[in-house]
Amino acid sequence: MNEPTQSQPSAFMERWQKVARRIRVPLGFLTAALYLFEWWRTPTHMKAIAASLLLVIPGVWLRGYAAGYVKKNRELTQTGPYAFTRNPLYLGSILIAMGFAVALMNWVVALALAFMFFVIYVPVIASEERFLRATFPGFDEYCRRVPRLFPRFTPASSDTPAGSFSFALYLRHREYNAAIGAALLYLCLFFLRPALDLLVHRLH
Protein backbone atom coordinates (compact mmCIF):
# COMPACT_ATOMS: atom_id res chain seq x y z
CA MET A 1 0.00 0.00 0.00
CA ASN A 2 3.00 2.30 0.52
CA GLU A 3 4.30 1.90 -3.02
CA PRO A 4 3.39 4.72 -5.40
CA THR A 5 1.30 3.82 -8.41
CA GLN A 6 2.59 5.58 -11.50
CA SER A 7 0.55 3.85 -14.22
CA GLN A 8 -1.92 6.05 -16.04
CA PRO A 9 -5.60 5.37 -15.37
CA SER A 10 -7.79 4.03 -18.15
CA ALA A 11 -9.90 6.50 -20.12
CA PHE A 12 -13.02 5.28 -18.35
CA MET A 13 -11.45 5.60 -14.90
CA GLU A 14 -10.15 9.07 -15.70
CA ARG A 15 -13.62 10.18 -16.79
CA TRP A 16 -15.18 8.62 -13.69
CA GLN A 17 -12.68 10.39 -11.42
CA LYS A 18 -13.82 13.71 -12.89
CA VAL A 19 -17.48 12.74 -12.42
CA ALA A 20 -16.83 11.58 -8.85
CA ARG A 21 -15.26 14.93 -7.94
CA ARG A 22 -18.32 16.76 -9.25
CA ILE A 23 -21.02 14.61 -7.70
CA ARG A 24 -19.54 13.79 -4.30
CA VAL A 25 -21.07 16.86 -2.61
CA PRO A 26 -24.63 16.45 -3.99
CA LEU A 27 -24.40 12.70 -3.42
CA GLY A 28 -23.36 13.46 0.14
CA PHE A 29 -26.55 15.48 0.61
CA LEU A 30 -28.60 12.60 -0.80
CA THR A 31 -26.90 10.21 1.61
CA ALA A 32 -27.68 12.60 4.48
CA ALA A 33 -31.32 12.69 3.38
CA LEU A 34 -31.39 8.89 3.33
CA TYR A 35 -29.88 8.87 6.82
CA LEU A 36 -32.57 11.19 8.16
CA PHE A 37 -35.31 9.12 6.50
CA GLU A 38 -33.97 5.91 8.04
CA TRP A 39 -33.48 7.72 11.34
CA TRP A 40 -37.19 8.55 11.37
CA ARG A 41 -38.29 4.96 10.71
CA THR A 42 -35.65 3.11 12.79
CA PRO A 43 -36.14 2.46 16.53
CA THR A 44 -33.76 4.40 18.77
CA HIS A 45 -30.86 2.41 20.27
CA MET A 46 -29.35 4.56 22.99
CA LYS A 47 -26.48 2.15 23.66
CA ALA A 48 -25.56 2.12 19.97
CA ILE A 49 -25.70 5.93 19.85
CA ALA A 50 -23.42 6.15 22.88
CA ALA A 51 -21.02 3.57 21.40
CA SER A 52 -20.86 5.52 18.14
CA LEU A 53 -19.14 8.38 19.97
CA LEU A 54 -16.03 6.16 20.15
CA LEU A 55 -15.73 6.55 16.37
CA VAL A 56 -17.24 9.97 15.72
CA ILE A 57 -15.24 11.95 18.29
CA PRO A 58 -11.84 10.65 17.04
CA GLY A 59 -13.00 11.24 13.46
CA VAL A 60 -13.96 14.86 14.12
CA TRP A 61 -10.73 15.40 16.05
CA LEU A 62 -8.61 13.90 13.25
CA ARG A 63 -10.24 16.05 10.57
CA GLY A 64 -9.71 19.18 12.68
CA TYR A 65 -6.13 18.23 13.50
CA ALA A 66 -5.32 17.58 9.84
CA ALA A 67 -6.96 20.84 8.74
CA GLY A 68 -4.54 22.71 10.99
CA TYR A 69 -1.57 21.31 9.08
CA VAL A 70 -2.52 21.02 5.42
CA LYS A 71 -1.75 23.82 2.96
CA LYS A 72 -3.70 22.65 -0.05
CA ASN A 73 -1.95 23.00 -3.42
CA ARG A 74 0.87 25.04 -1.83
CA GLU A 75 3.07 22.38 -0.27
CA LEU A 76 3.26 18.65 0.28
CA THR A 77 2.29 18.35 3.93
CA GLN A 78 4.25 15.52 5.58
CA THR A 79 4.10 16.37 9.28
CA GLY A 80 1.48 16.10 12.00
CA PRO A 81 -1.15 13.49 11.06
CA TYR A 82 0.30 13.41 7.53
CA ALA A 83 3.33 11.59 8.93
CA PHE A 84 1.01 8.67 9.76
CA THR A 85 -1.37 8.59 6.79
CA ARG A 86 -1.49 10.43 3.47
CA ASN A 87 -5.22 11.06 3.81
CA PRO A 88 -6.09 11.92 7.43
CA LEU A 89 -9.08 14.03 6.34
CA TYR A 90 -10.64 11.08 4.51
CA LEU A 91 -9.76 8.72 7.36
CA GLY A 92 -11.53 11.08 9.76
CA SER A 93 -14.57 11.14 7.47
CA ILE A 94 -14.63 7.33 7.40
CA LEU A 95 -14.57 7.18 11.20
CA ILE A 96 -17.42 9.69 11.42
CA ALA A 97 -19.49 7.81 8.83
CA MET A 98 -18.88 4.48 10.55
CA GLY A 99 -19.86 6.01 13.87
CA PHE A 100 -23.18 7.33 12.62
CA ALA A 101 -23.88 4.01 10.89
CA VAL A 102 -23.36 2.30 14.25
CA ALA A 103 -25.64 4.86 15.94
CA LEU A 104 -28.50 4.00 13.63
CA MET A 105 -27.92 0.21 13.49
CA ASN A 106 -29.32 0.22 9.95
CA TRP A 107 -27.89 -1.89 7.11
CA VAL A 108 -29.35 0.37 4.40
CA VAL A 109 -27.36 3.33 5.72
CA ALA A 110 -24.24 1.17 6.14
CA LEU A 111 -24.46 0.02 2.50
CA ALA A 112 -25.02 3.59 1.28
CA LEU A 113 -21.96 4.82 3.15
CA ALA A 114 -19.83 1.94 1.84
CA PHE A 115 -21.04 2.74 -1.69
CA MET A 116 -20.06 6.38 -1.23
CA PHE A 117 -16.56 5.44 -0.14
CA PHE A 118 -15.72 2.84 -2.78
CA VAL A 119 -17.46 4.42 -5.76
CA ILE A 120 -16.80 8.09 -5.03
CA TYR A 121 -13.94 8.60 -2.61
CA VAL A 122 -11.54 5.92 -3.84
CA PRO A 123 -11.49 7.45 -7.35
CA VAL A 124 -11.24 10.95 -5.87
CA ILE A 125 -8.23 9.93 -3.76
CA ALA A 126 -6.57 8.42 -6.86
CA SER A 127 -7.24 11.63 -8.82
CA GLU A 128 -5.81 13.81 -6.06
CA GLU A 129 -2.72 11.62 -5.84
CA ARG A 130 -2.15 12.00 -9.56
CA PHE A 131 -2.26 15.78 -9.13
CA LEU A 132 0.14 15.67 -6.16
CA ARG A 133 2.55 13.44 -8.07
CA ALA A 134 2.61 15.88 -10.98
CA THR A 135 2.93 18.92 -8.70
CA PHE A 136 5.39 17.87 -6.00
CA PRO A 137 8.61 16.00 -6.95
CA GLY A 138 8.88 14.39 -3.51
CA PHE A 139 5.45 12.76 -3.58
CA ASP A 140 6.62 9.29 -4.67
CA GLU A 141 9.15 9.16 -1.85
CA TYR A 142 6.45 10.27 0.57
CA CYS A 143 4.23 7.44 -0.70
CA ARG A 144 6.96 4.92 0.02
CA ARG A 145 7.12 6.04 3.65
CA VAL A 146 3.50 6.76 4.50
CA PRO A 147 0.44 4.55 3.75
CA ARG A 148 -2.45 5.89 1.71
CA LEU A 149 -5.19 5.53 4.33
CA PHE A 150 -4.68 3.19 7.27
CA PRO A 151 -2.07 4.87 9.48
CA ARG A 152 1.37 3.84 10.61
CA PHE A 153 1.95 3.22 14.31
CA THR A 154 4.83 5.70 14.40
CA PRO A 155 5.38 8.92 12.43
CA ALA A 156 7.45 8.59 9.26
CA SER A 157 10.74 10.43 9.14
CA SER A 158 10.89 13.46 6.88
CA ASP A 159 13.44 15.96 5.62
CA THR A 160 10.88 18.74 5.78
CA PRO A 161 10.84 21.01 8.86
CA ALA A 162 8.57 19.82 11.64
CA GLY A 163 5.26 21.60 11.33
CA SER A 164 2.83 22.62 14.04
CA PHE A 165 -0.91 22.88 14.29
CA SER A 166 -2.27 26.20 13.02
CA PHE A 167 -5.62 27.33 14.38
CA ALA A 168 -5.74 29.92 11.60
CA LEU A 169 -5.58 27.12 9.01
CA TYR A 170 -8.26 25.22 10.90
CA LEU A 171 -10.54 28.26 10.66
CA ARG A 172 -9.62 28.94 7.03
CA HIS A 173 -10.62 25.41 6.05
CA ARG A 174 -13.85 25.79 8.08
CA GLU A 175 -13.34 22.37 9.59
CA TYR A 176 -15.43 23.46 12.57
CA ASN A 177 -18.42 22.70 10.33
CA ALA A 178 -17.76 18.98 10.84
CA ALA A 179 -17.92 19.38 14.61
CA ILE A 180 -21.08 21.52 14.39
CA GLY A 181 -22.76 19.03 12.05
CA ALA A 182 -21.89 16.07 14.27
CA ALA A 183 -23.15 17.90 17.37
CA LEU A 184 -26.46 18.77 15.69
CA LEU A 185 -26.96 15.20 14.53
CA TYR A 186 -26.32 13.88 18.02
CA LEU A 187 -28.86 16.34 19.40
CA CYS A 188 -31.37 14.78 17.02
CA LEU A 189 -30.36 11.25 17.96
CA PHE A 190 -30.29 11.79 21.72
CA PHE A 191 -33.15 14.22 22.24
CA LEU A 192 -35.30 15.01 19.20
CA ARG A 193 -36.16 11.45 18.22
CA PRO A 194 -37.12 10.35 21.77
CA ALA A 195 -39.23 13.52 22.12
CA LEU A 196 -41.00 12.81 18.83
CA ASP A 197 -41.59 9.19 19.83
CA LEU A 198 -43.13 10.36 23.10
CA LEU A 199 -45.34 12.87 21.28
CA VAL A 200 -46.58 10.28 18.79
CA HIS A 201 -47.24 7.82 21.64
CA ARG A 202 -49.34 10.38 23.51
CA LEU A 203 -51.30 11.31 20.38
CA HIS A 204 -52.22 7.68 19.90
| Residue pLDDT, tens place only, 159-194 | 777 778 999 999 999 999 999 989 988 888 877 766
Q: Which residues contact 2 (CB under 8 A, 6 or more apart)?
A: 143, 144, 145, 146, 147, 148
Q: Which residues contact 72 (CB under 8 A, 6 or more apart)?
A: none
CA-based nearest residue to 104, from 32, 157, 158, 170: 32
CA-based nearest residue to 75, from 166, 152, 4: 166
At 92 the pLDDT is 96
- Other C-beta atoms lying within 10 Å of the C-beta of residue 2: 13
Please give the mean pLDDT across all residues of the chain. 85
CA-based nearest residue to 95, from 131, 128, 66: 66
Query: pLDDT-based confidence at 104, cuts 50/70/90?
Result: confident
At 129 the pLDDT is 92
At 150 the pLDDT is 92
pLDDT in tens, 112-134: 888 888 888 888 898 899 999 99
Rounded mean pLDDT, 70-97:
93
Query: pLDDT-based confidence at 200, cuts 50/70/90?
Result: low
Considering Cα of 24, then 123, then 117, then 38, what sign does the dihedral take?
A: positive
Residue 106 clears pLDDT 70, i.e. is over it: yes
C-alpha 1/C-alpha 144 separation (Å) is 9
- The angle, 0 to 180 degrees and rounded to 10, between the axes of the packed helices 88-104 and 107-115 is 160
